[in-house]
């Protein structure tokens, strides 16, 4: 498969960029025409950012799996779609060719149908990183069901909230998942999530760890048994459901600065075009190359750059079940050597963690197959950038620093490997179709270069969020009301003298912990659920490996003879309510929080104390009780 829209040099980039901004409809019409549609669209784009109302390829009909699978069979049928590497380096790897993957997705589409799944139904997927996860995702798309994948690090309570919000009647899970030396009991977590839940009709359980699980009659079935039933039915082909370009493809929950996580909704046509276009251009993918994205499919990075982008481009993806540091910190490099990986796309937190183990874990491996390196999820600091560039890329591989979000569907600001220049710690230039603007606190657009502001996007792009599930008003207020006529990203940003963008981090109350997005309000809610916690405030602080760590100030009213035990109890509560990924790194017990006379917590002060930067706390005279600041400073855990 070749890509007529792949940009090969910087002039072509500039030309494409200009055209995409001046004539977006013409630009995307040509690109979308290279995909397989059952019916062509009547209109490319219809939008306003007031409601917001964004529709791409109106009236177009398609099924995304025909683009990811069927259309490749004639040319790539025997080529690997997925190479799967187990958590255990001793276990044999699996290879699924496009023909294999097509067959398995068709089979599982039948399984979904046999179990009552219909077009538009929500299917929750809670699995480890095994090929069946990709198969389940694509099978949902084939039958027209809306998938909602939940990362394996979320708790029963978090799953229950998401199931309820989406009214998902179907679940696909595993008995358990292997991650490093852990065996995570996924089905047990699902069982707890389903206590008292009346609307879930069916749980399909794939076998992986074969840890003992409860199987409830009439509700729970084994994946393998259901496949056997389909096999006896003969022809495994499943006629793909014909979807509207704007039919919902999936929901993915993500945290914001307030309330519970919201379900970000992506639709079929625009998301397909956007993930494919950005994959092909940013990574400069060439047919036959092996693309290794280390993200979990539970996050948007996995959706877009393990599943939909690469597979719609006929690429070979490497899917890894394990973690970077097990059995030792050479695991990634061993995989790169074993499969002669061409493209490695990973997160700064992983790079920083591996850096800490030293070069002895890198040196034994031949990394000469690598051509492109990628970074995603959080700002990459210069030290990590250079380590990655020198020791992994051997100064031969461009690094693409890709800035984007769950809401943007795919990469927005990034250099294109070898086509536009990289610059350490800079995402650099917007991709065609992306119109970034920087605005000040008053909403005034900041023109020119060598400036900084809040990052907004002023024009729609095909992969953008359409709504937040079940609550369109929340979508409007969260993203489209802060600055009129613009999508607000929540990120602060610099634009250098050459027009390169550098994302500096969130400007709202959202933390980025190891590339995972966590709302401070969400953690506070969880802390406050602990018996004895009167009040709490959560802030981020710079953490060498995680990027940000979670620092919690807790007003505790219980009798705690043993502070450390109480801390552990509180951490356990957060783990139960949200999941282990949201556990505070530090808990400081305080007798009160710094508040203004109107009762607002002065987070600015708490952030400074958490950073150990207590020299100048700014004006504290407006505080209700300025004395509390001294107490908190004295007890700071830094
Ligand atoms: C937030 C989005 C993008 C998929 C994975 C995370 C931060 C993401 C970069 C980057 C600096 C980055 C932003 C953004 N972020 N990529 N290359 N440089 N910051 O998706 O969970 O939706 O988080 O991650 O703060 O808003 P997400």
Q: In this structure, what token pair is assigned to residue 354? A: 């591996």
Relative orientation angle of helices 627-634 and 603-610, to the nearest 10 degrees: 20
Q: Residue 620 — very low, low, confident or very high, per pLDDT cuts 50/70/90?
A: confident
Tokens of 541: 């602080």
User: Would you say 103 and 136 are in contact if contact means Cβ atoms under 8 Å apart?
Assistant: no
Q: How far apart are the first and last CA of the chain?
A: 54
Q: Is residue 30 part of a domain?
A: no
Q: Kindly report, residue by residue over 188-239, the tens digit of the pLDDT.
A: 999 999 999 999 999 999 999 999 999 999 999 999 999 999 999 877 899 9
Helix (H), strand (E), coil (C) string for 503-549: EEEECCCEEEECCEEEEHHHHHHHHHCCCCEEEEEEEEEEECCCEEE
438 Cα: distance to centroid of ligand 1 (angstroms)? 17
pLDDT higher than threshold 90 for residue 46: yes
Q: How far is the CA of 306 from the centre of ligand 1 (A)?
A: 17
Report the pLDDT averaged over residues 466-488: 96
- The DSSP H or E segment spanning 567 is helix 563-577
Distance CA 283, CA 603 (A): 40
**Mean predicted confidence (pLDDT) in 21-31:** 98
376 lines ligand 1 (CB under 6 A): yes
What is the rounded distance in angstroms from the CA atom of residue 460 to the CA atom of residue 102?
A: 33
Helices vs strands, H then E, count in the chain: 20, 31
Is 189 a domain residue? no
Distance 353 CA to ligand 1 centre (A): 18
| C-beta 491 within 6 A of ligand 1 | yes
Please report which confidence band the pLDDT of residue 607 belongs to, taking 50, 70 and 90 as the band edges. Answer: very high
Question: Quick one: pLDDT at residue 444?
Answer: 95
pLDDT in the model for residue 598: 86
At 488-508, the pLDDT tens digits run 999 999 999 999 999 999 999
Identify the weakest region by mean pLDDT among 121-130, 255-264, 410-419.
Answer: 255-264
Question: How confident is the model at residue 78, as a pLDDT?
Answer: 98
CA 408 to ligand 1 centroid distance, Å: 10
| Average pLDDT of the residues in 16-37 | 98
Q: Calculate mean pLDDT across residues 171-199.
A: 97
Report whether residue 462 contacts ligand 1, using a CB cutoff of 6 Å.
no
Å from CA of 555 to ligand 1 middle:
32
Q: How confident is the model at residue 68 (pLDDT cuts 50, 70, 90)?
A: very high
Atom of ligand 1 nearest to the CA of 414: 17
Structure tokens at 606: 């708490």
Identify the residue whose tokens are 């065609």: 432
Q: Whose CA is nearest to atom 18 of ligand 1?
A: 379
For the record, the structure tokens of 81 come out as 């779609």
Does an H or E element contain 334, and which? helix 331-339
The answer to whether 374 and 411 are in contact (CB under 8 A) is no
Split at pLDDT 50, 70, 90, the class of 122 is very high
Q: Where on the phi/psi map is residue 200: left (φ > 0), alpha (ψ -120 to 50), or beta?
A: beta
DSSP secondary structure of 60-86: -EE-HHHHHTGGGHHHHTTSEEEEEE-
Q: What is the pLDDT of residues 69-86, one digit of tens each?
A: 999 999 999 999 999 999
Q: How far apart are CA 356 and CA 545, in angstroms?
A: 9
Give which of 453, 427, 574, 551 is closest to 507, Cα–Cα: 453
Q: For residue 487, how far is its CA from the centre of ligand 1 (angstroms)?
A: 15
The answer to whether residue 158 sits within a structural domain is no
Classify residue 580: in a domain, yes or no: yes
416/405 Cα distance (integer angstroms): 18
Average pLDDT, the chain: 96
For residue 637, the tally of other CB atoms under 10 A from its CB is 14
Cα(404) to centroid of ligand 1, in Å? 5
Give which of 282, 444, 247 is closest to 375, Cα–Cα. Answer: 282
User: Could you tell me which of 92, 479, 47 has the C-alpha nearest to residue 258?
Assistant: 479
Residues contacting 151, CB < 8 A, separation 6+: 296, 298, 299, 579, 581
What residue's CA is closest to ligand 1, atom 19? 378
547 falls within a domain: yes
The pTM of the whole model exceeds 0.95: yes
| 50, pLDDT greater than 90 | yes
Average pLDDT over residues 263-285: 98
Banded model confidence at residue 615, pLDDT cuts 50, 70, 90: confident
Cβ–ligand 1 distance for 409 under 6 Å, the answer no
Q: What percent of the chain has pLDDT over 90?
A: 93
Q: Where are the beta strands (DSSP E) in 157-314?
A: 170-174, 177-179, 182-184, 202-206, 220-222, 243-244, 248-254, 262-267, 290-293
55, 47 contact by CB (below 8 A): yes
Q: Supply the pLDDT for residue 617.
A: 81
Q: How many residues does the chain have?
A: 638
Quick one: tokens of 231? 């096999």
Residues above pLDDT 70, as percent of the chain: 100
Using pLDDT thresholds of 50, 70 and 90, give the confidence band for residue 614.
confident
For residue 351, pLDDT over 90 is answered with yes
> If you search the block for the tokens 């949902």, which residue do you land on?
140
Burial bucket for residue 231 (CB in 10 Å: 0-12, 13-18, 19+): exposed
In a domain, 186, yes or no: no
Q: Which residue has the tokens 């990027």?
A: 547
Task: Report whether 134 contacts 102 (CB < 8 A).
Answer: no
In short, whether 379's Cβ falls inside 6 Å of ligand 1 is yes
Q: Which of 278, 373, 405, 413 to mutate to test the pocket of ligand 1 (most atoms within 8 A of CB)?
A: 405
The Cα 588–Cα 62 span in angstroms is 54
* Residues β-bridged to residue 519: 510
What is the model's pLDDT at position 309? 98
CA of 304 to the centre of ligand 1 (A): 14
Question: Does residue 599 surpass a pLDDT of 90?
Answer: no
Residue 205 neighbours by CB under 8 Å, 6+ apart = 173, 174, 175, 187, 213, 215, 220, 221, 222, 223
Which of 266, 404, 487 gets mutated to test ligand 1 (max ligand atoms within 8 A of its CB)?
Answer: 404
Query: What confidence category does residue 279 fall into, taking pLDDT thresholds of 50, 70 and 90?
Result: very high
Q: What contacts 171, CB < 8 A, 6 or more positions away?
A: 123, 124, 125, 126, 163, 190, 200, 202, 203, 204
Q: Which ranges in 115-185 belong to alpha helices (H)?
A: 131-143, 156-166
Q: Is the pLDDT of residue 509 over 80?
A: yes
Query: Which of the four pLDDT bands, split at 50, 70 and 90, describes residue 257?
Result: confident
Give residue 37's pLDDT. 98
Nearest to 465 by CA among 475, 477, 457: 475
Query: Pseudo-torsion of CA 55, 486, 524, 166, nearest 10°?
Result: -10
Q: How far is the CA of 513 from the centre of ligand 1 (A)?
A: 11
Q: What is the pLDDT of residue 597?
A: 87
Q: Is the CB–ligand 1 distance for residue 403 below 6 Å?
A: yes
Summarize pLDDT for 374-409 with one digit per residue, the tens: 999 999 999 999 999 999 999 999 999 999 999 999
Place of tokens 């969130």: 506
Using a 6 Å cutoff on CB, does residue 295 contact ligand 1?
A: no
* Structural domain includes residue 476: no
Instruction: Return all residues near 376 (Cβ < 8 A) that are at least 6 apart.
Output: 295, 301, 345, 346, 347, 402, 404, 515
Q: Is 512 in the pocket of ligand 1 (CB under 6 A)?
A: yes
CA dist., res. 31 & res. 6, Å (int): 10
H or E stretch covering 551: strand 547-556
pLDDT the model gives residue 233:
82
Give the confidence band of 558 by pLDDT, cuts at 50, 70, 90. confident
Domain that holds residue 557: 510-634
Q: Which of 21, 250, 223 is nearest to 124 (CA)?
A: 250
Nearest CA to ligand 1 atom 11: 379
Cα–chain center distance at 361: 28
Nearest-10 Cα torsion for 190, 193, 199, 203: 0
The pLDDT value given to residue 626:
84
The total domain count for the chain is: 1
CA–centroid distance, 390 to ligand 1, in Å, is: 24
CA distance 530 to 103: 49
The CATH number that applies at residue 525 is 3.30.300.30
Does residue 209 line the site of ligand 1, with CB under 6 A? no
CA of 356 to the centre of ligand 1 (A): 23
Residue 562 lies in a domain: yes
């Amino acid at each position: 498969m070749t890509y007529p829209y792949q940009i090969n040099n910087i002039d072509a980039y500039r030309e494409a960029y200009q055209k995409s901004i001046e004539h977006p409809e013409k630009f995307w019409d040509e690109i979308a025409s290279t995909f397989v549609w059952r019916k062509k669209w009547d209109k490319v784009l219809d939008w306003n950012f007031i409601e917001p109302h964004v529709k791409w390829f109106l009236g177009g009909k398609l099924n995304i799996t025909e683009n990811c699978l069927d259309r490749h069979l004639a040319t790539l049928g025997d080529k690997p779609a997925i190479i799967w590497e187990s958590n255990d380096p001793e276990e044999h790897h699996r290879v699924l060719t496009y023909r294999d993957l097509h067959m398995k997705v068709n089979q599982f589409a039948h399984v979904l149908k046999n179990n009552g799944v219909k077009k538009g139904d929500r299917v929750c997927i809670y699995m480890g990183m095994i090929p069946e996860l990709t198969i389940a995702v694509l099978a949902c798309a084939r039958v027209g069901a809306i998938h909602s994948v939940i990362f394996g690090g979320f708790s029963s309570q978090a799953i229950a909230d998401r199931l309820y919000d989406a009214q998902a009647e179907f679940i696909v899970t595993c008995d358990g998942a292997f991650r490093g030396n852990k065996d995570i009991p996924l089905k047990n977590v699902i069982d707890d999530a389903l206590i008292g839940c009346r609307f879930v009709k069916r749980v399909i359980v794939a076998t992986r760890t074969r840890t003992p699980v409860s199987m409830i009659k009439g509700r729970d079935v084994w994946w393998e048994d259901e496949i056997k039933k389909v096999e006896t039915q003969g022809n495994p082909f499943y006629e793909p459901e014909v979807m509207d370009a704007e039919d919902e493809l999936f929901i993915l929950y993500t945290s914001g600065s307030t309330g519970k996580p919201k379900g970000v909704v992506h639709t079929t046509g625009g998301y397909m075009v956007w993930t494919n276009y950005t994959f092909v251009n940013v990574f400069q993918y060439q047919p036959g190359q092996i693309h290794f994205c280390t993200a979990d499919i539970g996050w948007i990075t996995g959706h877009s750059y393990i599943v939909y982008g690469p597979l719609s481009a006929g690429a070979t993806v490497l899917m890894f079940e394990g973690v970077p540091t097990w059995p030792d910190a050479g695991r990634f490099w061993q995989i790169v050597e074993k499969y002669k990986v061409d493209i490695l796309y990973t997160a700064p937190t992983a790079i920083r963690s591996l850096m800490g183990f030293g070069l002895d874990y890198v040196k034994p491996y031949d990394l000469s197959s690598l051509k492109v390196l990628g970074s995603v999820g959080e700002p990459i600091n210069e030290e990590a950038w250079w380590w990655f560039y020198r020791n992994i890329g051997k100064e031969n591989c461009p690094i693409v620093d890709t800035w984007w979000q769950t809401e943007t569907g795919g990469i927005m600001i990034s250099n294109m490997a070898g086509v536009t220049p990289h610059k350490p710690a800079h995402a650099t230039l917007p991709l065609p179709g992306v119109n970034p603007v920087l605005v000040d606190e008053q909403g005034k657009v900041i023109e020119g270069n060598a400036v900084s502001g809040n990052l907004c996007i002023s024009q729609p792009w095909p992969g953008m969020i359409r709504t937040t599930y079940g609550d369109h008003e929340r979508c409007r207020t969260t993203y489209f009301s802060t600055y009129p006529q613009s999508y607000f990203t929540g990120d602060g940003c610099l634009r250098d003298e050459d027009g390169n963008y550098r994302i500096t981090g969130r400007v709202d109350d959202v933390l980025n912990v190891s590339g995972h997005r966590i709302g401070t309000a969400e953690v506070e809610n969880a802390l406050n659920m602990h018996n004895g916690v009167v009040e709490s405030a959560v802030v981020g602080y710079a953490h060498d490996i995680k990027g940000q760590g979670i620092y919690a100030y807790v007003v505790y009213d219980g009798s705690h003879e043993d502070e450390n035990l109480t801390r552990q109890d509180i951490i356990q509560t957060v783990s139960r309510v949200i999941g282990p990924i949201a556990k505070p790194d530090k808990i400081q017990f305080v007798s009160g929080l710094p508040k203004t006379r109107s009762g607002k917590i002065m987070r600015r002060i708490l952030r400074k104390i958490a950073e150990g930067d207590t020299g100048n706390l700014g004006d504290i005279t407006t505080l209700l009780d300025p004395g509390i600041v001294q107490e908190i400073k004295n007890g700071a855990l830094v």
